[in-house]
Amino acid sequence: MSFQDKVAIVSGGSRGIGRAIVQALAAGGARVAFTYVQNKAGADEVAQNGIVAYQADVTSFEQAKDVVKQVKEKFGRIDILVNNAGITRDKLILRMSEKDWDDVIDTNLKGAFNLSKPAVAAMVSQRSGAILNITSISGIVGMPGQVNYSSSKAGMIGFTKALAKEVAKANITVNALALGFVETDMTAVLNEEYRKKALEMIPLGRFGQAENMADAALFLLSEKANYITGQVIQVDGGLAI
């Protein structure tokens, strides 16, 4: 799929799924910028061949707004936004601190708002754009030990549907990918017992790869999907069937 002359912003692009999406968009001809917070080594590896890295915390509205401003000044427009930045702080609610809750909600859900608000302003003025929110099947079915994460991801689903209705008249699509288990740094810490149980729940019998997620993302961001909006596509190997 061609993204020639398109300008994209991806949050959390220095590793994992975000990194795969950044690289796939760039391979398709897009001019890509991404955010990262601490992983400078990873960001430097990705920021090659015209890809631009911005160290910014998406939990800060001012920092997020500044990234959008800088990208628009550099490239002249914003065509694509991928709200991918996300964290986990998994604990049972009786052991979960207020900070565990706030950190996850602020990064995963508020971060999507912080980047989308200024990006939408740019897209509305040019009467086109595509936004993709990376959510999780945890936001659909709920997961024990993840009341913060599941809430943030369920919130992103509501955010996707509401925003899709708001901006449709400006020819802007808003969709979401609800991901299952993916081989990333986030799942690398799972112990063998948990991993075995997870694999037993997945009809396809394997974890997804970041590249699988990038393939689905590129379709929803492409012109081939310009009549799809407000949708949540599950990319989970059948886990949430």
Active site residues: 149
Residue with tokens 């549907």: 161
Tally Cβ neighbours within 10 Å of residue 180: 22
- Report which of 217, 123, 103, 117 is spatially closest to residue 159, judged by C-alpha positions: 117
Distances (CA, A) of 235 to 109, 149, 192: 20, 18, 23
Token digits for 104? 């996850």
